Every structure is written in structure tokens, then in C-alpha cells.
């Protein structure tokens, strides 16, 4: 058995929390980036699926670490799984709202533990798009990344 941890980072480094009420009309606590730590490696989706030593990415130490449980999946099977899903997580398939680091972390945690990452992270794109500012940004985001599946 190996512990599985979700590393949570705020890409805004506190600015979302400080400024969101004035811009969005409601509190947004962070712009979330997540990764999954298992067997001494931090796995994340950036320019493809990458791994690093835990806390050793460009983002530095995580804001929060959530214990997702333990996995019985052996490390060699994890590597096979990563290679199997790698085509779904390439730079050209990145979508800020629909196929991002959090999408990867959720899929990986489900594989390892059967658990989803927290709803506030999974639902962040839809929550942001429901704000007046999100509705204004949607055309720009979709012109950059393509149409979003979020209503």
C-alpha cells in the first residue's frame, strides 16, 4: 500500500481571494492547480504528463495537501496507466476549462483510490463562468482553447 496525496496550489498566490469580490461579485479563493503524489513522485499535467520530486515543481511548496487514501496499484502498473492516458493529456489537448491539470489529477486519483478530488476544484471552471466576469471572459477563453463543455 502506498499513500496518495493531492497537492493543491493557488496559481494566483492569494490575488484571487483578495480581488475576486470586486471583479466577479463573489469570493473566489484561488485559481487551482493540482497534482498527485504517489510512490515519491509528484505527477501533473502541464506540457504533457510530467513528474517531479514532491514540492519540486516551479510552483514550489503546495498551499494544501489532502490525503486521498492509499493505493494497492503497483508502481509499474501506474507507469503503464500513465502511458495509456498520455495521448489524452498532450499540450494540444489542453483546455483551460475542460482538460487541465485538475482533470488529470481527478482521473489519476480515481484510478489510484476510487475517490474524486474536491468538488470546489472540479467545479471551479463552471463556477467562474457563472459570474459576470466569467461570462465576459468566455468568448476570449474559447477563442484561445476552443468551445467549452460548460454551459
Q: Which of 95, 101, 109, 150 is catalytic?
A: 101
For the chain, which residues make up each domain, given as ranges? 2-145
CA gap 31, 17 in Å, rounded? 9
C-alpha cell, 4: 496518495
C-alpha cell, 79: 507507469
Active-site residue 95, yes or no?
no
Active-site residue 101, yes or no?
yes
Q: At what angle do helices 75-85 and 101-113 cross, to 10 degrees?
A: 140
Angle at 112 between CA 115 and CA 76, to 5 degrees: 175
- Could you tell me how many residues make up the chain? 151
For the sheet with 2-10, list strands across it.
48-52, 41-46, 32-38, 2-10, 64-71
32 alpha-carbon distance from chain centroid: 6
The one-character DSSP state at 101 is H
What pLDDT was estimated at residue 69? 98
- Sign, CA dihedral 92-147-99-81, equals negative
pLDDT in tens, 96-144: 889 999 999 999 999 999 999 999 999 998 888 888 888 888 898 888 8
- Do residues 10 and 32 make contact, with C-beta atoms less than 8 angstroms apart? yes
Task: Identify the CATH homologous superfamily for domain 2-145.
Answer: PPPDE domains (3.90.1720.30)
Of 11-15, 57-61, 76-80, 129-133, which one has max mean pLDDT? 76-80
What pLDDT was estimated at residue 146? 87
What pLDDT was estimated at residue 21? 66
Amino acid at each position: 500500500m502506498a499513500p496518495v496525496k493531492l497537492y493543491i496550489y493557488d496559481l494566483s498566490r492569494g490575488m484571487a481571494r483578495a480581488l475576486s469580490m470586486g471583479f466577479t461579485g463573489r469570493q473566489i479563493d484561488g485559481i487551482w492547480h493540482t497534482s498527485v503524489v504517489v510512490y515519491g513522485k509528484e505527477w501533473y499535467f502541464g506540457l504533457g504528463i510530467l513528474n517531479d520530486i514532491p514540492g519540486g515543481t516551479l510552483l514550489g511548496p503546495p498551499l494544501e495537501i489532502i490525503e486521498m487514501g492509499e493505493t494497492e496499484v503497483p508502481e509499474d502498473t501506474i507507469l503503464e496507466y500513465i502511458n495509456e492516458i498520455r495521448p489524452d493529456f498532450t499540450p494540444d489537448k489542453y483546455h483551460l476549462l475542460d482538460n487541465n491539470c485538475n482533470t488529470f489529477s481527478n482521473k489519476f486519483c480515481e484510478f489510484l483510490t476510487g475517490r474524486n478530488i474536491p468538488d470546489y476544484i472540479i467545479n471551479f471552471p463552471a463556477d467562474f463562468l457563472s459570474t459576470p466576469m466569467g461570462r465576459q471572459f468566455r468568448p476570449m477563453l474559447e477563442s484561445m482553447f476552443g468551445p467549452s463543455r460548460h454551459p
